[in-house]
Amino acid sequence: MPARLRPTAPIAPEAILVGDPGRALLLAQELLEQPKMSNHARGLWGYSGSTPGGDALTIQSTGIGGPSAALVLADLTELGVKRAIRVGTCIALEEGLAPGRLLVVDEAIAVGGSAAAFGAGSGASLPPDRKLTARLCDELGDDAKRVAVASFDDHPPPAGPEKAVAADMQSAPLLARARGLGVDVAAMLIVAESVAGNQLTKDELEDLERTAGRAAARALLSP
């Protein structure tokens, strides 16, 4: 039995990972027919069910920060997950990167220390699964921007590594953990805040979460 998750419904081989439990519920309602709550232990809401096309899919919240996300991924792997896509938010580090932009992670740079537990020291560059990443770009089309992001353990400083255009808290630790677990993981992020501090409204963010979730589901479930 996994250490943190307590599944109450079957876990699918493909999963969408989100930090916020509310986002997990939103995507379950958007993507699944008659979703069943597959986990509520520790407030990490998870849902499983079938898509309208009949494919099994799990949507699981991972909590705040890299350590929590990495632990949840390990539990999901133990429960049979083979491929996963993170759908999260980020803060822009580059001028001109406006709130609402969808980013496909091409590499995640470890800045905080949480990735070090999985063999990725500060400054390490972690690639996502290339096949899933390419599928995400295909699904998003012109809306996709393939970038490097920096993952911090706390609120990022005004500037990160030179090639990183945005910052989040989970991508690098997740990719580092995925490497050790042998599971395929990719990531896409919604720019929620600009360098100047401009932020998306709740409704704007939820619309983009649905868009990102649909793209992630199609990328995971493509034949």
Domains of the chain: 14-221 (3.40.50.1580)
pLDDT, tens digit, for every residue of 62-113?
Answer: 999 999 999 999 999 999 999 999 999 999 999 989 999 999 999 999 997 7
Q: pLDDT at position 158, please?
A: 67
Confirm if 58 and 14 have CB atoms less than 8 A apart: yes
Residues of the chain below pLDDT 50: none
pTM: 0.95
Q: pLDDT at position 118, please?
A: 84
Helix H or strand E encompassing 158: none
DSSP symbol at 196: T
Q: pLDDT at position 195, please?
A: 92
pLDDT, tens digit, for every residue of 156-165?
Answer: 766 677 899 9
Q: pLDDT at position 34, please?
A: 93
Q: How big is the CA angle at 204 (ends 222 and 207), to the nearest 5 degrees?
A: 25
Residues with Cβ within 8 Å of 20's Cβ and at least 6 positions away in sequence, in order, are 61
Q: pLDDT at position 54, please?
A: 96
